[in-house]
Chains A and B, each alone.
Chain A
Amino acid sequence: MIVAERKPVEKVLEMIAPYKKVLIAGCYGCVTVCLAGGEKEVGILASQIRLARNKAGNPIEVVEQTVERQCDAEYLAKFQDNVSKVEAVVSLACGIGIQYLAEKSPVPVFPGVNTLFLGANIDVGKWEERCFACGDCVLDKTGGICPIARCSKSLLNGPCGGSQYGKCEVSKDVDCGWQLIYDRLKALGQLDKLKEIIPAKNWKRDKGPRKLVREELTLERD
């Protein structure tokens, strides 16, 4: 999932300082699962804003609404009514949802979360990055552990000299991605895979923002 965290309320209050009526827009997708921008967090933020503004003697009207996915035009349409009645929107979706909503909104849309990474929920209250969305998966060569996301230097051909006792040179709290890869390949009896030299990567940044077009699914086909 896309993992995000809530921005501090003070930051959000700064963004919406000039406005008297705002919409807090939630998303039932990834940000609900990582407890950053679902219906519940929309309610909490709305209450915090109302309280803060009342206390400051500058009351504000806050509308709350959450849709299935803000990265999907079909669901964004559901915001239309509310968006037309407010002066600004705070979106608690990931960066994709925030931008997509902003594209469709006549009023300013502000980010209510910081979008962090593509990761997994590894324990209660803990998330960790797992994928870099590099566009050319090498997991078949590395025992199912991504060297780009898990190695602090995104090295493709083994650990740097700073790997020790299973930890990364960056911090004793960070596992060395290549130690994990080594251990996994050893367990799988596939240590031979480590000998392969993985060539310099095409980072696929050659055509601006990356796009995917599947001709068989587009509506423009004959």
Chain B
Amino acid sequence: MKEIKFENLKSGSNLEKVLVSGQFACTGEIGPPTYASFEEIDKHAREMKGKVDSINFTDNQTAVVRLSSWAASLRLIYEHGMEPNLQVVCRDRNRLAIQSDLLGAYAHGIRNVLCLSGDHQTFGSSPGCKGVYDVDSVQLISMLKRLRDDGCFECGAECKINPKFFIGCAENPFGDPFEFRAIRLEKKIEAGADFVQTQCILDMERFELFMEKVRELGLHKRAFICAGLMPVKSPRMARYMQTGVPGMLVSEEFCQRLEKAEDPKAEAVNITVEYIKRCRQIEGVAGVHIMAVAWESIVPTVIEKAGLLPRPTF
């Protein structure tokens, strides 16, 4: 493979190199378990090795206590030699704890961070707990950018050896107010987001509409936008997501295809592969992020069928 010479990388992460070199990125995701063992993480990491550019570790997703995302990220680095994308939500920590965790994360070799608001605590295992939300996701992004580019903490104090992260954010093209979604993404990019991973796309038309607005604002030229995709293995799950998950839009066509399929799992793979191919055709989409919630083992198959192998190495 031709060696690429990179200049002025922000973090030097593998994901950054893939995106900066103009190659279509492909990332995976693992939800850490609700118990104190790396067993499942190891299993999925082995499955995804060589198939993805980076793996997201969710941060107490759905507000349920889980093995911490930084601990899972370290496991990926030390045990598997792979690259994590550390998710950080604003729900559980104040600015002091977040910055502290991120100093440690960087010192351990974590280079990608995805900044999120986090599902509201009422969804989870401790609905009566106090949500922190000391900073919101836009402010969290600003904080990381300042730490990286100006070498100072949120309070203004100098950070001698400052973490240089590849800063990510999420955006949900399916939430409301729809007209505000691209503007909100613009705020995140303005605040310092280098890459974006969208909420999973189960309504392609709406996503295309969102990307139109993104292009109108020129956001695709200022940050790398990766389309979130989710293989949904059962029609029941698709219907549940259509009606029971706030902020999700699932097209009728999507649900019906799974319902009519003789083998819904095979159809789920087909749809995801099709969507990946469609995303590659959309101007401004720089990669895909595959979130196979509770079905991580399918990720390699999807990636292979979508023609995304082999992954670039540097």
Contact = CB atoms under 8 A, between A and B. Distances in A.
Genuine A/B complex: yes
A167 interface: yes
B251 interface: no
A197 B187 contact: yes
B180 A194 contact: yes
Interface stretch (B15-23, B127-135, B265-273): B127-135
Contact of B139 (A157, A163, A165): A157
B176 A179 contact: yes
B138 A203 contact: no
A162 B95 contact: no
Contacts of B176: 159, 163-166, 176, 179
A158 B246 contact: no
B136 interface: yes
B133 A155 contact: yes
A155 B246 contact: no
Contacts of B177: 159, 163, 178-179, 182-183
A184 B311 CA distance: 48
Interface in A9-23: none
B172 interface: yes
A199 B199 contact: no
B143 interface: yes
Max chain B C-beta neighbours (<10 A), residue from A155, A156, A158, A197: A158
A198 to B, nearest CB: 8
A26 B67 CA distance: 50
Given A161-B117, A170-B120, A170-B122, A197 B175 contact: no
A164 B136 contact: no
Contact of A195 (B123, B135, B179, B186): B186
A147 to B, nearest CB: 9
B187 A159 contact: no
A156 B175 contact: no
B172 A153 contact: no
Nearest to B177: A182
Contacts of A178: 177, 180
Contact of A182 (B133, B137, B154, B180): B180
Nearest to B154: A200
Given A169-B246, A176-B176, A200 B95 contact: yes
A161 B172 contact: yes
A160 interface: yes
B170 interface: yes
A187 B176 CA distance: 17
